[in-house]
Amino acid sequence: MARPGWYMFCYDIADPKRLVKVHRLMKKSGLAVQKSIFFIQGTELQMKALLGDLGKLIKPKYDDIRAYPVESPDKVWTTGGVLESYPLIVLEDKKEHNSHGKPSSSTASSAKVSFWRRLWKK
C-alpha cells in the first residue's frame, strides 16, 4: 500500500456557486490554512481521486485547482497571517484555536486535536 504524504491544495474558482461546492468538499477532506488553501494528507491515488471529484464541480476554462506535494505542513514557509499570529494548538495550556485564530468549541475540537498535533509535530 502506498504511504500517505502531505499535499497543499490551492484553488481559484470564478463562480460563487461552484466556489461554495468546492470549498465544502475541501473542508471535508483537509484543513484550511487560508480561504482557498488546504493541507491534505493521503496517498497519491487518494489525491488523484479527490482531484477527479473536484474536476466534476468546476469549469476548467474558468477555474483552477492545483495540488502540490509537500514534505510536511511545517516545512512550508509562512509569514504573517493566522499561523504566525495564533498557534493553532497551544500545548502548554491545552487551548485550541480555529483557522481564524479564535478559540474553538470543545465539541468539534477533540477530533482535530490529534490531527493538529500530527500536523505540527517536528
Which residues are annotated binding-site positions for Mg(2+)? 12
Give me the residue label for grid cell 491534505: 40
Binding residues: 12
Burial 69-82 (b: 16+ CB within 10 A, else e): eeeebeeeeeeeeb
